Chains A and B, each alone.
Chain A
């Protein structure tokens, strides 16, 4: 592998220019496409068309000039003396971003389709601080990208290790290169698995996407009434039968869900190296992330009964993230068989996790859930009192009976599944009726603990618990205060008595 030095400020690969220009074209196209259709459909005098064409060419030239300037001004380098990564950019005003090594969390790779075609990688540097946004260098050749990522990660690790044992650090960096090449284990998720996964996921999301798409389309054409009338009336569909429409929606929803799953997780590939777990996936946006065990804040394992039968589990990994968007720093890996899941867990948590005992919610939770579920029924029967002619008593009783049965069973299973497992070092929350979820929280990584108590819980001595981690909160409702008080004390002891860095 050729060795690159990043000591001098340097530009991206020249093909990056293509990328920048294409991106700005894309933005222009996205903002102007309605205009283009408008011009294509309507009748205009040649003079107007000429002016419009001239304006278009002017816009294109301006954006080309902008792209060139942007490319020329975009420079980055590693400043070893000041221990930081420096990035300069901007056309009209120059923006310099200095990232100290110790703030670097992760260095990831991303590629969209265009980047694949022209053969470049995006290198994304994620930081722990909340102020700076993540830094992205969008066009680097593969060797350069690899070399930059490795250097940055090595610097970041060095910074982190310095306060602890210096010796260990030296030994590790020697192995580092050799161990990098061959993964200890790897796992590929096949296309067929993704199909199975898509077919067994929730189609409602797909249906939601269609509906959202329909509304945006309608909004885009709102101001052009002629066009919207040409598009056909939705009432036509309704007239032909709602049943067919629902079937149609579900079918399209299914296709969209499968398609989305395949595109998002295409060629999902896990590779375990000595000290990182590499996750690569995606068709449209290909990303490659290196996960280190020390950064994992919260781990979730999800499945539903059908997927469980087919050995398809999903793992969600939360890293420490800047304050307000905890979702962003979550990495989802899907379609894993149980043995791979346990290998992933083993890498992150070294020892296997065995629960020593469970904390269960109070039975009042079940009663509360069921009685809350009854509220709609009460309201509807109240209304029926006034509009009694709408439905016969027998029918109403039958529907009410089925409804009560459904609510009761659902909540019974919700209640049965909900439990908080405690081991010496872990909290494991089990939950979910259909989508079953296990959330693993390493005790010492907790940031703080909250106990909340509505006024009406006080008499029974019940509280709700919230465990705050840097990768998101975990709630557990309605437990007896006297029973969990020792646990809280133990958790605080665990957090406060350790010097291990949580990140």
Chain B
């Protein structure tokens, strides 16, 4: 009975000093070219709203125009904020590879850092959209079994870097499997 009690009693403390520290990792920034992609995306989506407003101007009675001007002002504020947000997103985002895991930090208003250990990765892929090809960047996507919340996609990488990151990760996945 004594030994059982002793087994149940424990006063374990996280031996943290000896563990590798996540907070000390220096993250790699993502390419500024990705900012261009973000801004292009923002402008395109705002173009649709602008077209909508212009059409509304032509087809609405003059009494409504005052309200439409308010709409324009609102749109301008949102546009400015989105531009600013994009810039900050690029500044604050980054990724890092350690021996055993990949770290990805993104976002400005809502910053989110996800760490995926290599031995939990299902597969990795490199993706390039049309715009990515024009800008000469690529996205690395890492998939896990933990649902979409735990998958990460690191945008704005130099294509050569992206491929080598992918190769590096896949080789480490196979080492574990």
Binding site for B on A (CB under 8 A): 128, 320, 323-324, 326, 352, 354, 356, 422-424, 446-455, 458, 466, 468-470, 472-473, 485-490, 492-493, 495-496, 499, 502-503
Q: Give the nearest-CB partner of B118 in chain A.
A: A496
Contact A451 B20 (CB under 8 A): no
Q: Which residues on A sit within 8 Å (CB–CB) of B110?
A: 452-455
Answer yes or no: B112 CB below 8 A from chain A CBs: yes
> Which of B19, B114, B148 touches A490 (beta carbons < 8 Å)?
B19
- 18 contacting pairs across A/B (C-beta < 8 A): A320-B145, A323-B147, A324-B147, A326-B147, A352-B8, A356-B10, A448-B150, A449-B115, A455-B109, A458-B111, A468-B144, A468-B146, A470-B145, A472-B147, A489-B20, A490-B14, A492-B20, A492-B115
- How far, in Å, is A254 (CB) from chain B's closest CB? 36
Contact B148 A485 (CB under 8 A): no
Answer yes or no: B28 CB below 8 A from chain A CBs: no
Q: Which residues on A sit within 8 Å (CB–CB) of B12?
A: 356, 423-424
> Which of A352, A454, A473, A496 touches B100 (beta carbons < 8 Å)?
A496
Q: Give the nearest-CB partner of A489 in chain B.
A: B19
Contact B14 A450 (CB under 8 A): no
Contact A502 B148 (CB under 8 A): no
Q: Give the nearest-CB partner of A470 in chain B.
A: B145
Contact A488:B112 (CB < 8 A) given known A323-B147, A450-B150, A466-B149? no
Q: Which residues on A sit within 8 Å (CB–CB) of B1?
A: none
In the complex, which of the residues A352, A356, A424, A448 has the most CB atoms of chain B within 10 Å of its own CB atom? A448
CA distance A355 to B23 in the complex (A): 26
In the complex, which of the residues A128, A424, A451, A503 has the most CB atoms of chain B within 10 Å of its own CB atom? A451
Contact B109 A492 (CB under 8 A): no
B6-57 residues with Cβ-Cβ distance < 8 A to A are 8, 10-14, 16, 19-23
- How far, in Å, is A502 (CB) from chain B's closest CB? 7
Answer yes or no: B117 CB below 8 A from chain A CBs: yes
Answer yes or no: B127 CB below 8 A from chain A CBs: no
B71-126 residues with Cβ-Cβ distance < 8 A to A are 100-101, 107-120
In the complex, which of the residues A320, A423, A466 has the most CB atoms of chain B within 10 Å of its own CB atom? A466
Contact B145 A447 (CB under 8 A): yes
Q: Which residues on A sit within 8 Å (CB–CB) of B120?
A: 446-448, 495, 502
Contact A451:B113 (CB < 8 A) given known A354-B8, A354-B10, A489-B21? yes
Q: Which residues on A sit within 8 Å (CB–CB) of B148?
A: 323-324
Q: Which residues on B sit within 8 Å (CB–CB) of A422?
A: 14
Q: Give the nearest-CB partner of A497 in chain B.
A: B100
CA distance A177 to B111 in the complex (A): 54
Contact B101 A492 (CB under 8 A): yes
Contact A469 B20 (CB under 8 A): no
Q: Which residues on B sit within 8 Å (CB–CB) of A503?
A: 145
- How far, in Å, is A326 (CB) from chain B's closest CB? 6
Q: Which residues on A sit within 8 Å (CB–CB) of B14?
A: 422, 486-487, 490
Q: Give the nearest-CB partner of A422 in chain B.
A: B14
Q: Which residues on A sit within 8 Å (CB–CB) of B22?
A: 485, 488-489, 492
- How far, in Å, is B16 (CB) from chain A's closest CB? 4
Q: Which residues on A sit within 8 Å (CB–CB) of B13?
A: 356
> Which of A356, A472, A488, A499 touches B115 (beta carbons < 8 Å)?
A488
CA distance A496 to B102 in the complex (A): 12
Q: Which residues on B sit within 8 Å (CB–CB) of A448?
A: 114-117, 120, 144, 146, 150
Contact B150 A447 (CB under 8 A): yes
CA distance A200 to B9 in the complex (A): 37
Q: Which residues on A sit within 8 Å (CB–CB) of B115?
A: 448-450, 488, 492
- How far, in Å, is A143 (CB) from chain B's closest CB? 35
> Which of A356, A452, A495 touches B112 (beta carbons < 8 Å)?
A452
Q: Which residues on B sit within 8 Å (CB–CB) of A354?
A: 8, 10
- How far, in Å, is A493 (CB) from chain B's closest CB? 5
Q: Which residues on A sit within 8 Å (CB–CB) of B109?
A: 454-455
Contact B10 A424 (CB under 8 A): yes
Q: Give the nearest-CB partner of A458 in chain B.
A: B111
- How far, in Å, is B174 (CB) from chain A's closest CB? 13
Contact A451 B147 (CB under 8 A): no
CA distance A455 to B21 in the complex (A): 23
CA distance A449 to B150 in the complex (A): 7
In the complex, which of the residues B14, B116, B118, B176 has the most CB atoms of chain A within 10 Å of its own CB atom? B14
